[in-house]
Amino acid sequence: MTLRRALSSVSKPKLVCALAVLSSLVCVAPASAQDLAGIVARAREQVDAGKYQEALRITAALKNRNLPPALALEVGLLETNALLVTQGAEEATKACGRAVIAADFDPEVARDQSPKVREVCRAAAKEVRAGRLGAEKIEISKLDIKPPDVAFQPLRASTEVSKKPTWLKVVARVQSTGLEGSFDVPLIPSEEGPLRGMLDPSWIRPGATLKVALVAQDKFGDLGPPSAESTIKVPNAEAAIVLGSVPKGAKITLDGDAVTPDASGKLPTSPGKHEVAMTLEDGAYAETEVELRRGGITRVALAPQAPSPSRAWPWVATGTSVALLVAGGVLLINAESRRSELEDAAARREPGTDLPASDYATLQDIDDERVIFQNVGIGLMAGGGAMAIVATVLWLVPTGGSTSTASISPVIGPTYWGVRGSF
């Protein structure tokens, strides 16, 4: 009676409003207090019983709730099963996408489900995983790859990412026409910042075509299709010599055969020992021997020099001059010795008399030897002096076509002889 009297005193609009508020409190309070796992268990029971609409009504109460990953995963799979029956594959795919995210983007999240659910979830995983980079605002730049200069040379690739979460892996996937299959090169963060990696030289076969793709991955594999691709043609040469700048008109030979380097001065060749030479238009020449390893590039600096002029004749003239002067000097010394001997023989007397002890013939022989030694010695000395002048001229006159202002002329006087020169 008291409640009826109280209600009769309240206007009808206010009563309706109060009842609505009371009703919401009665309905919501128990749902908020219920254990989340219990709600999921009730939804599972409805799916197992084939009551899919009821299961969806129960799971709808969990929307916008912060569920633990395991419960979120189960709710997504339950909704996938229910929606696949009630609304079709499109809505079921969306539901399974939420399950994939809850399972840390596991593409086989429905491995224990029915074939139809697995098919729907694979499609959902493909779509969700492909959008993971965009969802986390991660950008991967273009693929930067340096083509090899020769076969069997390491292939280096690099890229940059805007963020580097711990789950992200970036690889350069390489396929070669020279080998079967493909090979993933992990790109590792460098000290400078970019992700960098290097492909083993054994993959870089002569004449092969390489297809390199940039692929983002997580612990389950590829997140999607390659973000960038590049095609590279491997040279046929297994080694090379780099000469650098080659003067215009220079002739290059490799092992005796004329070759033409490219614009950078590179000469493709084979591994092993080689002789490379350069000859300039003015005749300057240089050569060297190098040993190349497979996949290696050797830089060679050739500095051609003009051929050294022959100095044989100056040396011959100098040697002849010295020999003549020495021989002439020896003969003049002998002549002086004969003169002293002649004087001694002429002064010698018989004991106790003033008669010469040496006869005329003996004195004449000694004098003849003296004259011969003296004349020949003077002649050799004169010849040696003349040859010295010739040697001096040969040493001073330049070779190789250059000009000189040097001039030399003999000078002969009553009591002397010599040369006069200007330089």
Closest Cα to residue 170, out of 190, 147, 196, 144?
A: 196
The predicted structure's pLDDT at residue 84: 92
In which residue are the tokens 């991955």 written?
A: 217
The predicted structure's pLDDT at residue 24: 36
* pTM of the full structure: 0.60
d(CA 105, CA 130): 10
Helices (H), 34-51: 36-48
d(CA 364, CA 287): 70
The predicted structure's pLDDT at residue 370: 81
Q: How far is CA 9 from CA 5, 14, 15, 63, in A?
A: 6, 11, 10, 41
Closest Cα to residue 226, out of 187, 184, 173?
A: 173
The predicted structure's pLDDT at residue 64: 83
Looking only at the bridges linking them, the beta strands covering 239-242 and 297-299 are parallel
The predicted structure's pLDDT at residue 415: 53
The pLDDT tens digits of the residues spanning 351-381 come to 767 666 667 777 787 778 888 888 888 888 8
The pLDDT tens digits of the residues spanning 218-250 come to 999 999 999 999 999 999 999 999 987 888 888
Cα 402–403–404 angle (5° rounding)? 130
Q: What is the DSSP string of 232-291?
A: EEPPS-SEEEE--S--TT-EEEETTEEE---TT-EEEE-SEEEEEEEE-TTS-EEEEEEE
d(CA 361, CA 363): 5
The predicted structure's pLDDT at residue 355: 66
The predicted structure's pLDDT at residue 418: 57
The predicted structure's pLDDT at residue 402: 47
Q: How far is CA 235 from CA 174, 184, 261, 312, in A?
A: 17, 22, 15, 51
Average of per-residue pLDDT values in the chain: 82
Q: Which residues of the chain have pLDDT under 50?
A: 1-33, 401-406, 423
The predicted structure's pLDDT at residue 310: 63
Closest Cα to residue 303, out of 281, 282, 279?
A: 279
Residue 287, CB-side half-sphere exposure with 13 Å CA sphere: 14
Say if domain 144-233 classifies as CATH 2.60.40.10: yes
The predicted structure's pLDDT at residue 12: 42
Domain 30-130, CATH among 1.25.40, 1.10.150, 3.30.70, 1.10.3470 = 1.25.40
Question: Where, residue-wise, is CATH 1.25.40 in the chain?
Answer: 30-130
d(CA 414, CA 328): 21
Question: Where, residue-wise, is CATH 2.60.40.10 in the chain?
Answer: 144-233
